[in-house]
Amino acid sequence: RKAVTNIYKTKDNRFFHLHGSLNPNPSLEAIGFPTDNIKIQHIEASFDPFMKRIAEKDAETWDHLLGDEYKQAATICLTTEEYANSPQGQVNGEQGLYRVRRQNSGHAACWWEPTKDTSIERPLAGLKIVDLTRVIAGPAIARGLAELGASIMRVTAPHLPDFSGLHPDLNWGKWNCSLDLRHEDDREKLRRLIQEADVVVNGYRPDALTKYGFGPVEVFSLIKDRKRGIIYVRENCFGWDGPLSHRSGWQPISDAHSGISMGFGRAMGLDEPVTPVFPNSDYCTVLMVLLTGIVGTCAVLEALVAQAEKGGSYLIDTSLNYYNQWLAQSVGEYPKPVWNHVWKRTGHEVFRHYHSMNHTIPRFIDKMKRDGTLLNPRFFEMRESAALGGLVFRTPKPVLQFPLGTVKLGYNIGTRGNGVDEPRWPTDLGTEIVGKARE
């Protein structure tokens, strides 16, 4: 099942990235495989059946089957040049790292309601954010705002899988409630949360929340009669315009589609794509995934200033592809002497197209431990979560440092698991747990 998320060669000698997402069953069904095969006991042995099956058809055939018919995260692996010249790349090329658009509304210019804690040190204190996200990129956007003092209510679904191993990193500063939007009672609870909120962050597949009444158009309509507008942030993989804008995807899919994976493979002397560990577009949306998160955080800050000056509501578009095309076109590759020096210093290891992050991340962690630079103790701090009974975590310190007496980065409340809090805004935004734990 892990081997679903991988890159395999097609009949026409191209490469195709399958992805199991948080449930590999639909992708397995699409390619004609059972949901499990107990005869295969080792991950290495699982590659061969996939290599043989994907080699039976051309890349375009697999792309249509997986991406369009089965609506799974999947893509043909492109070079950066192929991506830039593709219909999707040309449309995305008109965008920067993010897009902020003011909506037609009569909401007056204003800030959010301040609290006793709103100050230079905690500039976003009092800002209420509904976090409708999963995994990395979306949660990273809200976490970046929480670090500046915002109050976050993350909404998860009890019937959907989540990557709980990321909670020690991405759930700081967030309450966490569970709502099943298939039921009207829970949809009404979410409406009430949004009606009091200043920002909504949506990290689900494009249009997934629209059918429940929580897409941007529906949310703008929901708050149309109140005094202040709202900021709606949406994050996806391929970009918000163009022929692939409707598709779902994750960081490795964006890496493969935008040419980043091919660049990594060629840097190791191969003519094949290899999914890179760094940079991570999820995290820069906040590192690529996290880096998309950082981008989204900055976009919200820009929209808050615009809202204070001009009023109105705002729609923010962020995308893993927006970040990756910026990385490829504006930043570019390391000079070869720099790359060769770092590669040699860290063991000169060569990864292959069938080495997913399940294979590469443990090896990168070992390299970081041996090198000692990134895991230097001075880059970390001890952080306690009262919501988890005082459990202490060793976490990275904030990267950005402000002068004394100005912004003080940190979180109002501790990290936690899903469904701990009730779906409502507490009167005291410093409340550690909202109501009783949900059953």
Structure tokens at 222: 């929901």
Strand ranges (E), 137-259: 151-156, 174-178, 199-202, 231-236
- Give the rounded distance of the alpha carbon of 149 from its chain centre: 21
Report the pLDDT value the prediction gives residue 70, as an integer from 0 to 100: 94
**pLDDT tens series, the chain, 439 aa:** 888 899 999 999 999 999 988 889 999 999 999 888 777 777 778 889 999 999 999 999 999 999 999 999 999 999 999 999 999 999 999 999 999 999 987 899 999 999 999 999 999 999 999 999 988 888 989 999 999 999 999 999 999 888 888 888 899 999 999 999 999 999 999 999 999 999 999 999 999 999 999 999 999 999 999 999 999 999 999 999 999 999 999 999 999 999 999 999 999 999 999 999 876 444 343 344 557 678 899 999 999 999 999 999 999 999 999 999 999 999 999 999 999 998 898 889 999 999 988 888 889 888 888 877 878 899 999 999 999 999 999 998 988 889 999 999 999 999 999 999 999 999 999 999 999 644 3
Tell me which architecture the domain covering 2-76 has in CATH.
2-Layer Sandwich (3.30)
Rounded Cα distance between 15 and 230, Å, is: 42
Q: What is the reported pTM?
A: 0.93
Nearest-angstrom CA–CA distance, 393 and 316: 33
**CB-based contact 132:200 (threshold 8 Å):** yes
pLDDT value of position 266: 96
pLDDT of residue 279: 62
DSSP string computed for 93-149? TT--SEEEEE-S--PPS-PPPP-TT-SSSSTTTT-EEEEE--TTHHHHHHHHHHTTT
Distances (CA, A) of 152 to 7, 325, 411: 36, 30, 10
CA separation for the pair 310, 305 (Å, rounded): 9
* Torsion-angle region of 68 (φ positive above 0: left; ψ -120 to 50: alpha; else: beta): alpha
Q: Are 16 and 67 in contact (CB under 8 A)?
A: no
pLDDT score, position 375 = 83
CA distance 420 to 277: 32
